[in-house]
Structure 1
Amino acid sequence: MNENLIVHLIYRLDVGGMENLLVERINRMPAGAYRHVVVTLAGYSTEFARRISKPGVDICALDKQPGLSPGTHADLFKLLRRLRPAILHTYNLAGIEYAPAALLAGVPVRVNGLHGRDGADPEGRNWKHNLLRRLMLPFYHCCYANSGDMLAWNRKVIGVPGHKSCLLPNGIDAERFRPPADGEPRPDVGFGPGCRVIGTVGRIQDVKNHAALVDAFALLRARLPGMAGTLRLAIVGDGPLLPSLRDKVRALGLADLVWLPGARADIPDILRGFDVYAISSIAEGTPGSVLEAMASALPVVGTRVGGVPELIDDGVTGQLVAPRDPAAMADALARYLLAPELATAHGAAGRARVVSHYSMTAMVANYQALYDRLLERKTSFRKSIKSCVE
């Protein structure tokens, strides 16, 4: 067994909040603590993979076929037998079914992380998915969640026992994600000076419901005709629904007012060019993009789903609205545009909350402590078994 090797199994290594934080944890974990291999079920973006700066981190793609794909289980088994890691860390529902292969391959510790749900099942009611989660429970030593809402759901609905569950909140680099310094020019996000920019960052997929944000922006322009000429919307990120989102923007006649640049590597600078941040998701864990926006001192309008209410203190650091309600989102955005001093106060309160509760250092330390604890428990158990035999 490679005692300090962790294999991270994710669906795809590409632009996304969970993926960004995985890369950050790998890069920031102290040298000599653990080595890492990232295994993807559906490939990876070479450009995004370059963000892993820690030396010696390999990336392996299993090229899973659509459907059950039993061959993928066999491929992972062979890979794990060759690598002989101490820990298999799987992420979300996509990776949860592969713990039996890890057990057969002799991986001592198996961890699954709940970082969010799919757009097709935002409230976690799919009985087949939940049955799979329950069936996999015996194969895992820990099934953590990154929000209190997800942790409670894991325990109540799936039945994860207390000794196998814990909360591991996300963290943000508050030095990299920061508001503009005094006298620092505002970054240009493609609209020129004098514009009021509502922005969001995230993978363009169904669970993020960006179409509702576009609808809210159209309503906002109609409700604030005096400001309509200066209002702009930025949706930064790549994903399977980007082409259809661009079609929607064109159909509404908003092509010159909505910026859809795809994936970008300069997110901290882009956030400093926003006036208000919006997240229109129908399901979330603890969205790292919201923490990044708060660290950048942006007021946030977010949907009341998953762990979002745990981040946004309604009326203090931002505003919460019902999901799938463009009219409510437009109203909340209008409040900030009509009262810039309120936006500034909520943005400052949001940054203070991130600095005090969601540091990147604490997040990395919490994950390392979990790995250490589980390995120590497994090692102690093996030693006790050996002692009894002797």
Structure 2
Amino acid sequence: MADGRFTVTNVHDLRPLVAHVLYRFDVGGLENGVVNLINHMPSDTYRHVVIALTEITDFRRRIGRDDVQFFALKKAPGHSIWIYPQLFRLFRELRPEIVHSRNLAALEVAVPAWAAGVPVRIHGEHGRDVGDLDGSNRKYQWLRRCYRPFVTHYIALSRDLEQYLTSRVGMPPARVTQIYNGVDTRRFYPAETRQPIAGCPFSDPMGCLIGTVGRMQAVKNQTALAEAFIRVLKAFPQLESRLRLVMIGNGPLRAQAQALLEQAGVAELAWLPGERDDVPEILRGLDGFVLPSLAEGVSNTILEAMASGLPVIATNVGGNGELVESGRTGELVEPADVDAMAQKIAAYAIDPQRAKAAGSAGRAVVERRFSIEAMTQGYQDVYDRLLKSRSRMPGRNAWVHP
């Protein structure tokens, strides 16, 4: 887009168009789910555009199809009604059959989509942020109720989020579909032996590398993992020669975690390289994965770690308990319980065979329940069903292509 004008292509393509709307298109679990959906949905079924209310970064290169357009609207923070005319014009020019928004920050696009005559308006709930860790924020519930008349259907990534929509927000169950994230098991797979990580200073094959991957923001709470690592070394000094910490990602908590490690005198036993684009290889270089989040929807990184054959220690928030079978594929601890996290890390470091067995069980669960094919088919079924039902309603026909 340049000077407020849009360049729209493929207007004569008869495949229904899905407009995926996000607040920002950058590295993250939500965004990765959109990438996986677009890359794996059969190209002869739907075509796609990605609309970011703010920015689109180089993350767009993760989409492998060459028929996907991208639009960044440069929206200012907060609810900005001034963006409605811009979205209205874009939807009128693109003529999508479906607008699919994600999370509360993008929910407002349902209004201009409705005004522009988009036949199907889907909203996805992918997780919670630091302002609503347990879903009790009444303002956020009220906002979702306000936009309800403009949304055709909702998709919840976990049973926890499905219950939130139906019980706390009051959505009719018939208007909510629960679909788990899927993971690409061909891209994320176990290594027979732990693989060296490019640039990582820890290469001892007898060592134990625990790690995490994700944006280092308050809701992800990576400082709790740094504190747990410090406590493990104090409580189990015999592990100091073997146990190492790897924390991948950028954000404000990176400096805080580094400072905690330095103050404890163990910074040389941890590696915090920032953002990386070789996550599958990094996971194959770990012995265990830890997710210390304060809130989650359905974590892509947990699924990727499980697919990579890693035991997972995660906080019991959001959909984490729907992914990790405590005592079998990993362990669950209460959020911010640093001592419990430290104990679980130590247990796996002391008993590598137990850790390996949990990782193998996790891989089997992913193959059985969380395949990317099942996720893609779930979304396609919803798209197909809603378009079919809308086309039968007077005045609700899909766009007629010239």
Look up the match of 1:97: 108
Unaligned runs of 5+ in 2: 1-10, 398-402
In the alignment, what sits opposite 1:132? 143
Is contact 1:3-1:86 (8 Å) kept? no
Which residue does 2:209 correspond to in 1? 197
2:126 maps to amino acid: H
Match of 2:42 among 22, 30, 44: 30
In structure 2, give the amino acid aligned to 1:214.
A
- Residue number in structure 2 paired with 1:66: 77
Measured after TM superposition, the shift of residue 98 of structure 1 is 1.8
Question: Equivalences for 1:260-339 in 2 at 5 Å?
Answer: 260-339=272-351
Distance (Å, rounded) in 2 between the aligned partners of 1:100 and 1:383: 18
Indicate yes or no: 2:360 matched with 1:348.
yes
* CA distance in structure 1 between the aligned counterparts of 2:264 and 2:54, rounded to whole angstroms: 34
1:219 is aligned to 2:219: no
- CA–CA distance in structure 1, aligned partners of residues 247 and 85 of structure 2: 39
Aligned length: 383
Q: Note the residue ranges of structure 1 that are not aligned, 5 or more in a row.
A: 386-390
Over residues 30-88 of structure 1, what are the superposed CA-to-partner deviations in whole Å (9 max), with x where a residue is unaligned? 11211111111220222x11111101211111111122222222221221121111111
Shift, 1:240, TM fit:
4.5
- Verify: 1:180 aligned to 2:180, yes or no: no
- 1:118 has 2:129 as partner: yes
Q: Which moved more, 1:130-139 or 1:251-260?
A: 251-260
TM-fit CA distance, 1:241: 3.7
The question of whether the paired residues in 2 share the 8 Å contact of 1:97 and 1:132 is answered with no
Residue 83, structure 1, aligned to residue 94, structure 2: yes
| One-letter code aligned to 2:40 | R
Asked if the contact 1:176/1:268 (under 8 Å) is kept, the reply is yes
Cα distance between partner residues in 1 of 2:258 and 2:74: 29
Whole-angstrom CA distance in 1 between matches of 2:251 and 2:93? 33
Q: Partner letter of residue 106 of structure 1?
A: G
Q: Which amino acid aligns with 1:235?
A: M
Following superposition, the deviation at residue 167 of structure 1 comes to: 0.6
What is the TM-score of this pair, normalised by structure 1?
Answer: 0.94
Which one is further off, 208-217 or 228-237? 228-237
Secondary structure, counterpart of 1:36 in structure 2 = strand
The alpha carbon displacement at 1:184 in A equals 7.7
Query: Secondary structure, in 3 states, of the residue corresponding to 2:82?
Result: helix
Identical aligned residues as a percent = 43
Contact 1:3 / 1:85 at 8 angstroms: preserved in 2? Answer: no
In 2, the alpha carbon distance for the partners of 1:170 and 1:283 equals 16
TM-score (structure 2 length as normaliser): 0.91
SS, match of residue 268 in structure 2: coil
